[in-house]
């Protein structure tokens, strides 16, 4: 857990803290100039809220205590009658409680937003990993399909075409033998040999 001093050490934190102190001083001055009849307590929430969100809740708590002191001091300096330590302490406690509730709500809201951002970031990373895994599986399927297609083409060319070529040669030899013997089945044998040549040609084309 970082303290508000650690937060101030980060780039930009010190500038924001200084701006909050300047804003508090301006609010206190305006509160003094307007008099104690007009309450500007709500304006002190501005530097407190900014310091809580951008610097940290501990620095915001410190700003809340300082704001109560400035608020009480500006009222007394502007002419507010002193009504006793009990009443002033009670009013300061009420104002401080209001500021602390504001600090708690702002800090809880910031933590919720940070948790939501972390969940979204984790979900996005998981989604990217899932997409990458899916793309990897798709590439593997495509590679496997390509290898199977090539294997099928090779087997079709090396095995089936060789068998058909052997049968075609045998049919041509049989046709010549039947033609030499003057058989009536010569024309039928020739047709079979032509069909085998066509089948062989188509098989090679597919392979």
53 contacts: CB under 8 Å, gap ≥ 6: 106, 110
Q: What is the pLDDT of residue 178?
A: 76
pLDDT at position 1 is 46
| 51-55, 136-140, 199-203, range with the lowest pLDDT | 199-203
> Distance between CA 101 and CA 8 in Å, rounded?
23
pLDDT digits (tens, 9 = 90+) for 63-78: 999 999 999 999 889 8
Give whole-number Cα distances, 86 to 3, 78, 83, 96, in Å.
33, 20, 8, 15
pLDDT band at 6 (very low <50, low <70, confident <90, very high): low
Higher pLDDT, 60 or 84: 60
Residue 98: partners with Cβ closer than 8 Å, 6 or more residues away? 41
Among 93, 33, 30, residue whose Cα is nearest residue 64: 93
Per the CB < 8 A criterion, the answer to whether 59 and 4 are in contact is yes
Mean pLDDT (whole number) for 121-145: 90
Does residue 8 contact residue 59 with C-beta atoms inside 8 Å? yes
For 25-35, how does the pLDDT look when each residue is reduced to its tens digit (9 = 90+)?
A: 999 999 999 98
């Amino acid at each position: 857990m970082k303290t508000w001093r650690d937060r101030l050490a980060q780039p930009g934190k010190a500038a924001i803290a200084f701006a909050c102190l300047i804003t508090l001083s301006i609010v206190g001055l305006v509160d003094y100039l307007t008099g104690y009849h007009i309450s500007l307590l709500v304006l002190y929430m501005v530097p407190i809220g900014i310091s809580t969100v951008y610097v940290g809740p501990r620095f915001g708590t410190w700003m809340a205590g300082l704001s109560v002191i400035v608020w009480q001091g500006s009222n007394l300096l502007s002419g507010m009658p002193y009504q006793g330590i009990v009443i002033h302490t009670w009013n300061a406690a009420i104002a401080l409680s209001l500021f602390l509730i504001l600090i708690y709500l702002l800090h809880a809201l910031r933590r919720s937003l940070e948790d939501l951002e972390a969940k979204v970031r984790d979900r996005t990373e998981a989604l990217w990993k899932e997409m990458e895994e899916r793309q990897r599986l798709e590439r593997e399927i495509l590679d496997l399909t390509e290898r199977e297609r090539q294997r099928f083409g090779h087997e079709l060319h090396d095995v089936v075409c060789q068998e058909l070529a052997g049968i075609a040669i045998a049919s041509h030899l049989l046709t010549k033998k039947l033609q030499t013997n003057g058989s009536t089945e010569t024309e039928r044998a020739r047709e079979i040999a032509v069909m085998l040549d066509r089948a062989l040609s188509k098989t090679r084309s597919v392979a």
